[in-house]
Chain A
Amino acid sequence: MSMPRTEVRRDLKSAATSHKGDRVFNRSITAAAFTALVVLAGIAIFLGLSAVEALRTQGLDFLFTTEWSVEQEDPKAGIWGMLYGSVLLSAIGLVIAIPASLLLSVFIVFLAPRRLAKVMTNVVDLMAAIPSVILGLWAFYLLNPPAEEWQFLLNKYLGWIPIFQNESGNFNGTPFIAGFVLAIMMIPIITSVSREVLGRTPPDLINAAEALGCSLWTMLRYVALPYGRGGIVGGIMLGLGRALGETIAIFFVLKLIFETNWYNIIESGGGSVATLIVATFGEVSGPYELNLLLAAGFFLFVGTLVVNVIANLIVQRTGRMQR
């Protein structure tokens, strides 16, 4: 006697079950899973409304001029210098952080003995764990004084290069120091990603390259770096996303000015959107100025979101490729 073939084949992985408790469970879990979307949408909508309001009253000048005189009768506000400053500081940070973290991960993966590699991995993780307020405190008291002297020497001997010009003679609170602090925050992020992708280079490829007579440099150049390129670029973008949104550490070391500091990286004064918000919030004059700050926050949010999404897509794609 054969069983009647009425039973339904159920896919164990994704079956929507008929059990009532399960339905409740599934629905509540699904609802909770969309919290991230709700929060992101909420941020975009609420800050976006402020941005619309700011653009309506200030016009495109809000984005493309640099001014902050809100308490007069005809309030004027423009955050170009801050937007540009955020990018400039991050660029300085990247110039320092990219080579440092690539070399650091090459050291950890290919050069260091196993023990030392473990120690260095922990050192990098520890660096990532330092809260930004502590890094800012350290930078303000321990990095700033010697860095002023470095910048003085830089200006004295390389002052003929435009970016190292300094007319005020004041080397305090420069974009260079702020970028240096950002580099310290980016190095652990970039290093941990690139260490991982370099470490995943198939040993067979490395052995083959060495058997063909490759030196360390040629092996890196033709095997390891092309193999890990996507992951490394993704890691750099993740670091950039972190740097763009960094607030407190920069607040301590950068002198905020409402002018656009285009390229004088060792001239006192610069801008950063996130720092503008914290610095202005303390003495905010009223709802209108608060609204302007929220609008500035919106553009910061959009910028970091774009950078982060691209970074994650790149990291994900290379991760899938290598699996």
Chain B
Amino acid sequence: MTQVLDRERIAEWSQQEPQRPWTRKPVHLQVWIALAALLPAVIVALMFTYTDLPGPVLMVVVYLPLQLVASGFAALATKGRQGIADSVIIVNAIGATLFSFIILFSVLGSLIFRGFEALWGDDGFRSSFLVQNNVYINPSTPLEYGGLGHAVIGTLIIVLIASVIAVPIGIATAIYITEVRGRAVPYVRFFVQAMSGVPSIVAGLFILTVLIVSGAIGQSAFAGGLAYAILMLPTVARTAEEVLRLIPEDLRTGALALGSTRARVVLRVVIPAAKTGIITAIILGVARVIGETAPLLLTSLKSDQTVLNPLSDPIAALPTYIFDNVALPYPGAVTRAWGAALVLMIIVLILFTIARILGRDRLNKSR
């Protein structure tokens, strides 16, 4: 049985030009594309100069719709009806990308710009701002005097306490999941994940009610460190778990075959093999907590002096230093807050960069 094709259909199909998307587009289409790209920009530039609408509003209310329409027409001309939906996605995706770019660079730019006012004065780089403390400083004191040295030390002490508590427990949790592999593994993973969602303020409240309200310890670096440890533990545990998973099973079975006990396998073989990864986990844990403000507001309060005793006295930290200075309605205090914010951001960036570099080494080695 033969199928007879409709002659008209064949004639119609043979008329069609192949699209050949790989060839260069003819000139008139290129003109369309150029027009679609330029026209909305020109119109908006003109509106920006001749009306007093603010830039961001103009971009969202005028430029985006115009560009959508223009790109839609260009897509219709070059790709046909199917192209319109694509052009809508592409224009919006580029818009969303620009949006996140602008937000990030606005934050970083303002940090650098305003932070420099605190760190650089007429007298050059003010190292005093980094090392001095806040005693005898009121909001109208010139920026040459006083600084955030006490807050840096406070942050170091609190983070150190948090690490001493959270790192061993976090790594032990990861070892339980990947090495001991007891019956409760799914539950432990579930609890760790649930714990990673605990809001920082709730961690602060927990320490406040259990230890401070009950009178066990005062508001101090130790209390702050405990609150930080709650936030740090899940990050360390999850990252360390991922890292331990990458250790080849052969190493473990090999060590067991040589007669070592399971504890030795973990302590002498698996952990040394995963050393860089575990350091990465610790760094990510520190980076996770170092900017947290809310728990410290409840547990370690603030101080103007350099406090070294972690057990009894309220202590300052970088995030709370920023928080307190923003609240003061004096430009000097606000500049100090920006300076501290710049210092904090630089610390966070350094931590993330180290973690990234270590992580890259690990990937290269395992390949």
Contact = CB atoms under 8 A, between A and B. Distances in A.
Contacts of A19: 261-263
B137 to A, nearest CB: 19
Interface stretch (B123-131, B138-146, B172-180): B172-180
Interface string A128-149: 0111111111101110001001
Contacts of B88: 217
Nearest to A123: B104
Interface string A296-310: 010011001101110
Contacts of B197: 238, 241, 245, 304-305, 307-309, 311-312
Contacts of A6: none
A252 B323 CA distance: 9
Contacts of B97: 103-104, 107, 112, 120
Given A245-B201, A297-B201, A14 B86 contact: no
B95 A36 contact: no
B337 interface: yes
A278 B110 contact: no
Interface in B343-365: 344-345, 348-349, 352
A126 interface: yes
Given A42-B206, A215-B85, A135 B191 contact: no
Contacts, number: 274
User: What size tier do the contact residues of chain A reach?
Assistant: 35 or more
A248 B168 contact: no
A21 B326 CA distance: 55
A293 B213 CA distance: 13
Given A29-B175, A33-B184, A42-B206, A131 B352 contact: no
A39 B90 CA distance: 46
A26 interface: yes
B148 interface: no
Contacts of A211: none
B319 interface: yes
Given A111-B93, A129-B352, A21 B261 contact: yes
Contacts of A101: 96
A212 B323 CA distance: 57
A312 B99 CA distance: 28
Interface string A2-22: 000000000011100101011
A46 interface: yes
Contact of A278 (B290, B297, B349): B297
Given A29-B175, A100-B96, A125-B352, A130 B199 contact: no
B274 interface: no
Interface string B176-220: 110111101001101111111111111101101110010000000
Nearest to A36: B191
B326 A36 contact: no
8 contacts: A40-B195, A123-B101, A138-B111, A153-B53, A215-B86, A247-B294, A278-B298, A312-B190
Interface of A: 12-14, 17, 19, 21-22, 24-26, 28-30, 32-37, 39-40, 42-43, 46-47, 50, 99-101, 103-104, 106-107, 111-112, 120, 123-127, 129-138, 140-142, 146, 149-150, 153, 184, 187, 215-218, 220, 238, 241, 244-248, 252, 274, 277-278, 281-282, 287, 290, 293-294, 297, 300-301, 304-305, 307-309, 311-312
